[in-house]
Amino acid sequence: MDRAQFFSAQAGRTIEAPRHASARFAVGEVVRHRLFDFRGVVFDVDPVFANSDEWYEAIPAAVRPSRDQPFYHLLAENAESSYVAYVSQQNLLPDAENGPVDHPQVAELFERFADGRYRLRPRLSH
């Protein structure tokens, strides 16, 4: 398999990943966690796990996802709070509510919510 490398500030090291990863969700999509009761909007995608080993090892082994899949950065919310989450592809589902996410940082990254997704501010897109 053709591999590429990228530097992850979260992991503090260079990460090797497939050159052509298959992300199921895109920036601006609203998703829901498969196991836990929270939803969020995708604001970045890593082609494989790109956080610290300590973060990964803190996940209970019984539910620890494979590192070799896309991981998503989410502006997340649940009934009690808003926060930033880092979630494996296997643990995300499309959000059936199709409504906006009530996170205080949404307006910093996205312009508007329409047709079930957010549009990234132009100055932030690649």
- pLDDT for 57 equals 95
**pLDDT one-digit tens code per residue, 59-93:** 999 999 999 899 999 999 999 999 999 999 999 99
Tokens at residue 87, please?
């979630």
Residue 36 CA to residue 76 CA, distance in Å, equals 12
Give domain limits for the chain.
25-50+68-124
Q: Specify the CATH architecture of the domain 25-50+68-124.
A: Roll (2.30)
Residue 73: both structure tokens together? 């950065």
- DSSP H helix total and E strand total for the chain: 2, 9
pTM of the predicted model, to two decimals? Answer: 0.83
What is residue 43's DSSP assignment?
A: E
